[in-house]
Amino acid sequence: MIEGYAVPDFVSDFWNYYVIAITVISILGVMWFLKQQSGQKLAPGEKAALMEHAWDGDLQELNNPLPKWWLYMFWGLIFFSIIYLVLFPGLGKFPGVLNWTSAAQYTDEKTRIDADFNKVMEPFLHEDVMKVAADPTAKEMGNHLFLTYCSQCHGSNAQGDGKNFPNLSDKTWLFGGDPDSIKASISAGHSAEMPANLLGDEKSAKEVANYVLSLGGKPHDAALAEAGKTKFAACAGCHGEDGKGNAAAGFPNLTDDAWQYGGSEAAIVETIMKGRKGGMPAFQDMLGDAKIQLLTAYVWGLGGGQTPAAPAPVAAAPAAAPAAAAEAAQAK
């Protein structure tokens, strides 16, 4: 096994020796061919033999020896390939005497680049996220990071795609939109799942869908909504009896206009029947603290970030009663 790579169970040692054999035989075959060509010479005054091929009446192919510079170039390439296969992986599972791997090189380069980046990031790493979000330099760096790591899902404008990936620039958040919550989402990721077919049949799903639409004051069928009111109990465990969910736990509000997979009757029925499963991958190991700090500040500063709640005031200790104070003084 080459360091950094796991060999699949279905790959036997036969293929290791097969690759080695093919490589060695190919090199030896080319060397034999060049040797044959190197020995081909024309005597003084001798003309090259005319081959059978002719084109356009007067274009002829002559059996001339290969030019010396051409032969030397091929020999040089062969010796280079032999040296390469000794030093680097290429012969089956043989790792090469230098024990080089692309995974190790990637890790080394990433470590070096991260160290250089962290030097630039150091002024921002321990500052308040909201203060970092207001810094033009930090904002520019965060934008570059967002385009590199986040735009594939959330779009270059951070507004998602309207169905599969959430808008990060509005005021609606699952799992929280304050700096600490955003940082936790980027670092550790999240998973969210809506179970499929809790109601049993499409008719019930349609009734509950209309009831959900009624909760948000949207156009709906009143009779279906009334029939779905009691059946909504199967959903209330996550979304609450009022349908407003629990954003901190990842349960969306069903009464607003922020619908991840669509808020029409058909879309809601589809969600109830088929369920949904989504997730945000964890980026801590990939990005590290410095980049996550910048990304947190950038996302928070897009316009939808929530201000952290002020800490609750600490209640003052009640004053000691006069008698208790006198007893304490006598005890001293």
Per-residue pLDDT reduced to its tens digit, 189-200: 998 889 998 888
Q: Which amino acid is at 161?
A: D
Q: Mean pLDDT throughout 24-43?
A: 86
Q: What is the pLDDT of residues 165-187, one digit of tens each?
A: 889 999 889 999 999 999 999 99
Binning pLDDT at 50, 70 and 90, where does residue 327 land?
low
- What does CATH list as the number for 192-280? 1.10.760.10
Return the pLDDT at 225: 93
Supply 82's token pair.
Answer: 């032999």
Give the model's pLDDT for residue 233.
92
CATH fold of 109-189+281-300 reads Cytochrome Bc1 Complex; Chain D, domain 2 (1.10.760)
Average pLDDT, the chain: 86
Average pLDDT over residues 40-46: 72
pLDDT of residue 11: 62
Domains 109-189+281-300 and 192-280 fall in the same CATH topology:
yes
The pLDDT score that the predictor gives to residue 329 is: 45
For residues 252 and 174, the answer to whether their CB atoms sit within 8 Å is yes
Place 32 in a pLDDT band, splitting at 50, 70 and 90: very high
Between CA 249 and CA 240 the distance in angstroms is: 12
Please name the residues in contact with 128: beta carbons below 8 A apart, sequence gap of 6 or more.
179
How is the chain split into domains, by residue range? 13-100, 109-189+281-300, 192-280
In this predicted structure, what is the pLDDT of residue 155? 92
d(CA 148, CA 131) in angstroms, rounded, equals: 23
Closest CA to 128 of 297, 13, 320: 297
Q: What is the pLDDT of residue 328?
A: 45
| pLDDT at residue 317 is higher than 60 | no
What average pLDDT does range 90-107 have in this prediction? 92
